Amino acid sequence: MISVDAHRETVTGLLGNAPVIRLPLASAAGLVLAEDVLAGVSLPPFDNSAMDGYAVRAEDVAEAPVTLPVADDIPAGRVDIGRLEPGTAHRIMTGAPLPPGADAVVMVEHTDAGVTDVRIFRTAVPGAHIRRLGEDVVEGTVALSAGTVLGPAHLGLAAAVGLAEVPVRRPLKVLVVSTGTELVDAPNPLRHGQIYESNSIMLASAIRALGCEAEVVRSVVDDVDEFRAAIEPRLADVDLLVTSGGVSAGAYEVVKDALTGQGVEFRKVAMQPGGPQGCGRWNGVPVVTLPGNPVSVLVSFEAFLRPALLAAMGHSGVDRQKVRARLTESMTSPAGRRQFRRGFYTHSEGEVTGVVGPRGGPGSHLLASFTQANCLIVLPEDVDSAAKGDEVDVLLL
Closest distance of CB 183 from ligand AMP, Å:
5
> Which of Mg ion, ligand AMP, none has residue 182 at its interface (CB below 5 to 8 Å by kind)?
ligand AMP
C-beta of 167 vs 246, nearer to Mg ion:
246
What 3-state class would DSSP assign to 203?
helix
Nearest C-alpha neighbor of 290 from the set 272, 303, 276, 280: 276
Question: Contact, 172 vs 313, CB < 8 A?
Answer: yes
Q: Which residue pairs from 127-132 have beta carbons closer than 8 angstroms and sit at least 24 positions apart in sequence?
A: 127/103, 128/58, 128/104, 129/49, 129/50, 129/51, 129/53, 129/104, 129/105, 130/47, 130/48, 130/49, 130/50, 130/98, 130/103, 130/104, 130/105, 131/44, 131/47, 131/48, 131/49, 131/50, 132/44, 132/47
Whole-number Å distance between alpha carbons of 1 and 340: 17
Smallest distance, Å, CB 179 to Mg ion?
6
Q: Which does 148 bind (CB under 5 to 8 A by kind): Mg ion, ligand AMP, none?
A: none
Q: Which window, 46-54, 120-128, 240-248, 273-281, contacts Mg ion (CB under 5 A)? A: 240-248
Phi and psi torsions of 57, nearest 5°: -95, 130
Q: Which of residues 180-219 bind Mg ion (CB under 5 A)?
A: 180
Task: Choose between 31 and 220: whose C-beta lies nearer to Mg ion.
Answer: 220
- Name the residue number minimizing CB distance to ligand AMP: 292
Q: Parallel, antiparallel, or unpaired for β 37-38 and 142-144? A: antiparallel
CB nearer ligand AMP, residue 51 or residue 203? 203
> Nearest approach, Cβ of 369 to Mg ion (angstroms)?
22
Specify the pairing of strand 375-379 against strand 338-346: antiparallel
Query: In whole angstroms, how far apart are CA 44 and each of 76, 150, 159, 194, 346?
Result: 13, 22, 13, 64, 45
Element spanning 312, H or E: helix 306-312
Q: 44, 53, 97, 245: which one contacts Mg ion (CB under 5 A)?
A: 245
Size of the site for Mg ion (CB under 5 A): 4
Least distance in Å: CB of 255 to ligand AMP? 8
* Minimum CB–partner distance for residue 331 and Mg ion (Å): 29
Q: How far is Cα 352 from Cα 323, in angstroms, rounded to an integer?
A: 9
CA 113 distance to own-chain centroid? 48
Closest approach of ligand AMP to the CB of residue 243, in Å: 9
| Closest residue to bound Mg ion by CB | 245
Stretch that binds Mg ion, among 102-110, 246-254, 257-265, 348-356 (CB under 5 A): 246-254
Q: DSSP characters for 10-33?
A: HHHHHH--PPEEEEEGGG-TT-BB
Nearer of residues 198 and 260 to ligand AMP, judged by Cβ: 198
Nearer to Mg ion, 180 or 276 (CB): 180
Residues 262-301 as x/- pattern, contact with Mg ion by CB under 5 A: ------------------------------x---------
Q: Which is nearer to ligand AMP, 182 or 215 (CB)?
A: 182
Work out how close the CB of 255 gets to Mg ion at its nearest, in angstroms, rounded to a whole number: 8
DSSP states along 225-261: HHHHHHHGGGGGG-SEEEEES--SSSS--HHHHHHBT
In angstroms, what is the minimal distance from the CB of 252 to Mg ion? 7
Q: What does 97 interact with, of Mg ion, ligand AMP, none (CB < 5 to 8 A by kind)? A: none
Work out what residue 248 binds among ligand AMP, Mg ion, none; the CB cut-off runs from 5 to 8 Å by kind: ligand AMP
Q: Which residues bind ligand AMP (CB under 6 A)?
A: 178, 180, 182-183, 195, 197-199, 244-246, 248, 291-294
Q: Which residues bind Mg ion (CB under 5 A)?
A: 180, 245-246, 292
